[in-house]
Structure 1
């Protein structure tokens, strides 16, 4: 499902008409979060969440934090609800045995970097991870979930879109009001290029009273350079245009793009149509890492994957927070 256009930019008439429903949604979130004390599992829990509905770049942040903790000799496990997956869990994700339809695409991607658990009940997932040797839990999403206590909460936001029109679903893209959500967090991590960071600071700087860390997603070097390569690009992420812009910056000759819904299944029929179109226009099919794990196995060799990693401008605030949490 694509976000409605009026969710971004200045609030308009439709947003105003839907605002009473947004108040009801925000009230439901507030009541859910007030349901008694959150449970602890004996190890620190670092929540990587967001205020916006949809993708903001949380998965690359979890990967970067896992690598940062690994450098400190700390064993981190990821726990995810497994959006769109059929497994209730808690189940440890096995790349060789599980498919994205079972686990969701993000856990399957995370499992390539650190032990990852899928659990609809996040407390049960965290307990299973601790039982398997986790010294720190990296909670992928779950900022609005009332079950598990957080020792550190990082709110990730796409700097390009910011907090949209600043209103709560369905009047805007937010799961809860900005002030309410940020009151439970320690750090805001905005992800985007320099221009997007500048726009975010100008639009939302006064609303973000927490330490803000800037990061960007940068493509990893590839064996086959993209510069000048004719490509048909597709992406089923929170903001597909972000991926297309990355390809353009890498010098790819973009012949066609397909912006899919976040987590959209990649059926044989859909992929057959795109591969046929690519052959007709003489292009290589290219996608993101997150989309690649949803590809039908027989088709993976025909699709090029462009991996990206989070580059943080200044790790200082995050390092200080990690040191405080892990002791």
Structure 2
């Protein structure tokens, strides 16, 4: 979700909505001050953001799970299951569940290892701990005060930053930056761009990362399609790595692809003597019978200073709490 254009500029509409934004932020902060967060029997690392929409949290979560595995830890991922119809506590099974059930992000994580969805984050974390999790990694949930987080990352898109700097609905922010950054242990700037002033002021450690392809692009003509927050980012990355895109088609974020749409895409691809290719998130939302007809191009988070990330998170992964 990239949001309306005025979220990225100061104009009369953002000014008009500012009183509502102030009320929204006050309610959020009041909820945090009244909260009584619960602790579970496993350390919890949260990967969140301060804005509405995607910033690259999911690749960061996958990178953290890899770090945990390298230390011999069984990391479980916990998320809300955005876009899925299942509302109760569920352990996600890639071979059984569909994106309509649990959401596309949950399916991606389930390919990597144990993954849980739960609207009640405390119940989800307890279930993961009871199932043997050495570490629980939250994909989103930074604004949820119910669960104690042992370490919290805030991921910021380098290109869009905090937009116009206003809280929803006047802008893209979920909360006031100073309030959110005051709970963060580190910031991850995803992709090139200017670091927001609020981040520089708060003095929280900053890591820089970017999305890089896990594999080279397939050869031959490619018909690319995507239903993510910024499809152009996918197309540009594919082209920059040598992919020969002859045509592209964009859909809304978290779009559910119908048989009619996919059949039309396949016909158009044949017109260009091309193969269909999409993102991992879009691939997870495809009907199973269509997955053999579509190529997927995975990306992963690459940190400029991977050693700094490892040193930062090691004390929590080893059960010793936050780094000093």
Normalising by the smaller structure, the TM-score range is over 0.9
Give the 3 Å change call, closer, same or farther, for CA 202–145 of structure 1 in structure 2.
closer
Q: Distance in 2 between matches of 1:304 and 1:203?
A: 40
CA displacement at 1:205 relative to structure 2:
5.8
CA displacement at 1:299 relative to structure 2:
1.2
| Contact 2:178–2:198 (Cα < 8 Å) also in 1 | no
Q: Distance in 1 between matches of 2:197 and 2:182?
A: 19
Give the 3 Å change call, closer, same or farther, for CA 72–41 of structure 1 in structure 2.
same
Give the 3 Å change call, closer, same or farther, for CA 88–250 of structure 1 in structure 2.
same
What SS class does the counterpart of residue 272 from structure 1 fall into?
helix
1:318 counterpart residue number:
309
1:13-32 aligned within 5 A: 13-32=12-31
Number of residue pairs matched by the alignment: 318
What SS class does the counterpart of residue 285 from structure 2 fall into?
coil
RMSD value over aligned CA atoms?
1.7
| Contact 1:2–1:261 (Cα < 8 Å) also in 2 | no
CA displacement at 1:317 relative to structure 2:
3.6
Matched, 1:282 2:266: no
Q: Distance in 2 between matches of 1:7 and 1:87?
A: 31
Matched, 1:215 2:209: yes
What are structure 2's unaligned runs of at least 5 residues?
none
Moved more, 281-290 or 174-183: 281-290
Deviations 1:77-99 (A, max 9, x none): 00110001111231111111111
CA displacement at 1:204 relative to structure 2:
6.3
| Contact 1:55–1:262 (Cα < 8 Å) also in 2 | no
2:249 counterpart residue number:
258
1:177 counterpart residue number:
176
1:62 counterpart residue number:
61
Q: TM-score, normalised by structure 1?
A: 0.92
Moved more, 74-83 or 34-43: 34-43
| Contact 2:92–2:102 (Cα < 8 Å) also in 1 | yes
1:93 counterpart residue number:
92
What are structure 1's unaligned runs of at least 5 residues?
none
Give the 3 Å change call, closer, same or farther, for CA 307–6 of structure 1 in structure 2.
same
What SS class does the counterpart of residue 217 from structure 1 fall into?
strand
2:37 counterpart residue number:
38
Q: TM-score, normalised by structure 2?
A: 0.93
What SS class does the counterpart of residue 62 from structure 1 fall into?
helix
| Contact 2:208–2:303 (Cα < 8 Å) also in 1 | yes
Moved more, 134-143 or 87-96: 87-96
What SS class does the counterpart of residue 295 from structure 2 fall into?
strand
